[in-house]
Every structure is written in structure tokens, then in C-alpha cells.
Amino acid sequence: MADYNALYQEVILDHNKKPRNFGIVSPASHHADGHNPLCGDHISVTLNLAGDSVDAIAFQGESCAICKASASMMTVAVKGKTRADAETLIQEFLAMATGKLDLDSPNHIGRLAVFAGVRDLPTRVKCAILPWHTLHAAFNSVASTSTEAEEDPMHATIGNA
């Protein structure tokens, strides 16, 4: 059964109200726009890689609380990480949101586990993962991404969620 209360918990509501790293990094070495055509939500992610590490990252856009909090916590989580570590975290987050990650096995999810509840809300999974898709697209210099795009490299893993 869906644990809705766990989803709208304090930490998510706080990041929605006071998003961290909200804005743009300029100039940015990488950027991407993410769009969920089903609900009109959009997120842009700008970042600067110093060597192989995320030196600065910011996001902005219009979205629901789940998406905004996910983006905010994502920027906090990947700042200072290497690109490879950030990509690992992206994969783990996507797996968690779609119910494919065993949270008891070793992982890097940490505080992001507050989003585990979306796996029981298929219509909200895309809200949580849009920022992570967009970050992935930014790393790969894809100018824009979408939760519906066929060429989206992540599309297959989220299926019809």
C-alpha cells in the first residue's frame, strides 16, 4: 500500500519551500532542460565541472513539490562529487524511484531515501526523476530531455511509469 505520508514529509516540504542551489550557474560547462509534457513541469540544470568534479550546480524551473525537492536535494548530493559518482547516484535514484533498488543493500542514496515512497505512486515517479534525467542529459551534453522522449537514454528504464 502506498505510504503517502512518508512522501510529503518534513524534509521534502522544506526543500520545496526553500530550494537549495536554485538559479543558474553562469558560465556553465554543461546544461540541459528537462520537460515532462504530461504535466508541463520543466527543470533546467546548469553545472560546471572542475576537472572531473561537479564544482557548481544549480537548477530552476516550474514544478510540483516532489520534483522541486528532488532537484534541490540532487544538487546538494552531487556537488563536489565526480561525474562518475554522480552518474552512479543517478542510476541508484532511478532504480529506487521505480522500486528496483534494495535499500538494505550497499548504496549511496542516504537522505534521498525520503523519495522511496514514489515507487507506490506510478503517476508521480516521473516528477521525482525528472531532475535526475536532466542532470544525466547535462553530463552528456544533450541540450534538452523529456520524460517522454524516445531518444532519451533513460526512457527504457522507467518504462511507462
Interacting residues with other proteins (CB under 8 A): 1-2, 4-5, 7-8, 13, 38-41, 62-66, 121, 123-124, 127
Nearer to other proteins, 14 or 87 (CB): 14
Distance (Å, whole) CA 67 – CA 41: 8
Q: Is 79 exposed, middle or buried (0-12, 13-18, 19+ CB in 10 A)?
A: middle
Whole-number Cα distances in Å, 3 to 9, 82, 95, 120, 130: 11, 33, 18, 7, 21
Closest CB 50 distance from other proteins, rounded Å: 34
Closest CB 62 distance from other proteins, rounded Å: 6
Helices marked H in 2-58: 4-7, 10-17
Closest CB 158 distance from other proteins, rounded Å: 17
Closest CB 39 distance from other proteins, rounded Å: 6
Nearer to other proteins, 27 or 40 (CB): 40
Nearer to other proteins, 69 or 78 (CB): 69
Check: CB of residue 94 under 8 Å from CB of residue 125.
no
Nearer to other proteins, 62 or 102 (CB): 62
Helices marked H in the chain: 4-7, 10-17, 65-78, 83-97, 122-139, 155-158
